[in-house]
Amino acid sequence: MMQDVKPRLDRDSRREAILDVASDVFLEEGYANASMSTIAARVGGSKGTLYNYFKNKEELFAAYVVRHCAWQRDAMFEIESDLSDIREALIKTGRIYLSIVLSDFSMANFRVIVAEAQRTPEIGLAFYEAGPRSGAKRLGAVLQKAVDSGQLKIDDPVHAAHQFIGLCQNRLLKARLCGAMAEPTVNEIDREVLSAVKVFMAAYGA
């Protein structure tokens, strides 16, 4: 299983430290109750320093959302360079994807983001663009390479990417969101991923 660690993507260590603290505060208090004063106090500086990086809480939250999505996406596609066997590549991708998305850490972040998206639609849009949509485009590019090499027959790779992700996560994601199950085990993830790949290859395999 993926270890619950904060993503560190930016070269500006001060900005990253602010986002680390903001992530903790958002998860503990929710977006509405979180304050720039609390975040500044935990960072160990003044609010003025905080505002040098983010002009308001909305901008800080948006940066937190984008960073979390980028971390998930990059971790998911560590294996995209090895595409000699698309079936094995999809199995690896599915395993990594579910271990990240269904982890306690990611589920907590997802709930905070979705809750705020109801009040601030642009946050929901930022999450969708940086997360699900961007991930599907990247997976679509991987599938296109498999089409080019003759391993798959797909007319719309991005659409097929959304289908594959849906096949992998559908049942377990619903159970996690409803609190009906704990973080899945390796065997539970394998069961979902292997069946998802089997269905996907039956539909699109050359």
**What is the arithmetic mean of pLDDT over 17-36?**
90
CATH number, span 9-55: 1.10.10.60
Enumerate the domain spans of the chain: 9-55, 58-204
- Which residue, among 47, 46, 60, 74, has the nearest Cα to 15 in the 3D structure? 60
Q: Would you state the structure tokens that stand for residue 132, as one six-digit string?
A: 């699900």
**What is the arithmetic mean of pLDDT over 145-163?**
97
Residues 88-126 as b or e (16 or more Cβ within 10 Å = b) = ebbbbbbbbbbbbbbbebbbebbebbeebbeeeeebbeb
For the whole model, what pTM was predicted?
Answer: 0.81
What fold, for 58-204?
Tetracycline Repressor; domain 2 (1.10.357)
What are the pLDDT digits (tens) for 78-137? 655 577 899 999 999 999 999 999 999 899 989 988 888 888 888 889 889 988 999 899
Mean pLDDT for the chain?
A: 88
